[in-house]
Amino acid sequence: MSGRLFSKRHIWIETDGNTASIGITDFLQDKLGAIIFINLPETGGTIKKGEPFGDIESKKLVMDLEAPVDGEVVEINSTLQDEPYLINEEPFESWFIKVRVESIPDDLITEEAYNERITYYDRISDRDGS
């Protein structure tokens, strides 16, 4: 499987064979505002779908990063730990971790479906004045 998929928590995953790169979406980085810190797991550790694998801090809040898949962490993007602002500048190029995966969960959605979802969120937000 290849291509980018998305979780309901605004996490993207892009697969290359059995390795998946994981990051946050443009929508989420925009909602977070200026990102000032990211805490990631160590290489060799494991992540479990639906559980936190790290956290991200912006000037607005600290948020857990929810794993969209199960897997073993094979690489972390250490550049982001020194330069977390890159997430705001290039969210789809700023992967957080790479994970060796056995399978991809069925609840991840395509980019088209994700874009429809965030368009809906934006319409509701505009209507409510939020």
Residue ranges of the domains in the chain?
3-128
Tell me which DSSP letter residue 42 carries: P
Q: Which residues of the chain have pLDDT under 70?
A: 1-2, 122, 125-130
In the prediction, which pLDDT does 120 show?
78
In the prediction, which pLDDT does 22 show?
98
**Which CATH architecture describes the domain 3-128?**
Beta Barrel (2.40)
Rounded CA separation 13/99 (Å): 10
- The dihedral built from the CA positions of residue 118, 112, 110 and 89, taken in this order, carries a sign that is negative
pLDDT, tens digit (0-9, with 9 covering 90-100), for 30-41: 999 999 999 999
